[in-house]
């Protein structure tokens, strides 16, 4: 069994990835919360990339808005409709945490089951 994650909006290969995927997870936090979280990271200097200046980091807000608009466009809605049977939309940190914690439990349970069957996963 192969498990992999594709991160990002690679519009040209998204359909190919979605066809192969068991699930398509779309994180769709509200725009104002995304901007607020980014500003807090800048002000607290928490979780920032050290190679990026504070000014460049603040200017990244423009990119956040641009990406948000792109996700709201017609092609994204069509993509979501086409893969709705596989689509999981997470709209808050709480939903994201619950989803990934459930995945961890699932992976641990599958690993334990494979060990019982005599398979070893490094």
On the 0-12 / 13-18 / 19+ scale of CB atoms within 10 A, 58 is middle
Measured CA distances, 35 to 58, 70, 82, 115 (Å): 10, 16, 29, 45
| Residue 68 maps to a domain | yes
pLDDT in tens, 21-67: 888 888 888 889 989 988 888 888 877 778 888 888 889 899 888 88
Q: How many CA atoms lie within 13 A of 35 on its CB side?
A: 12
Q: Do both 108 and 54 map to the same domain?
A: no
pLDDT at residue number 25? 85
Tell me which residue range forms the domain holding 70.
14-91
The residue that leads in pLDDT, 14 or 93, is 93
Can you name the residues that pair with 20 across neighbouring β-strands?
none
Same domain, 20 and 36: yes
Total domain count, the chain: 2
């Amino acid at each position: 069994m192969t498990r992999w994650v594709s991160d990002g909006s690679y519009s040209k290969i998204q359909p190919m990835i979605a066809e192969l995927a068991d699930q398509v997870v779309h994180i769709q936090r509200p725009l104002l919360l995304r901007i607020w979280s980014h500003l807090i990271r800048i002000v607290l200097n928490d979780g920032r990339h050290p190679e990026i200046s504070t000014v460049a980091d603040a200017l990244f807000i423009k990119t956040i808005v641009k990406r948000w608009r792109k996700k709201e466009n017609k092609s994204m809605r069509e993509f979501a409709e086409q893969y709705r049977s596989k689509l999981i939309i997470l709209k808050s940190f709480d939903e994201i945490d619950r989803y990934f914690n459930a995945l961890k439990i699932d992976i641990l349970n599958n690993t334990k089951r494979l060990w019982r069957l005599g398979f070893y996963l490094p």
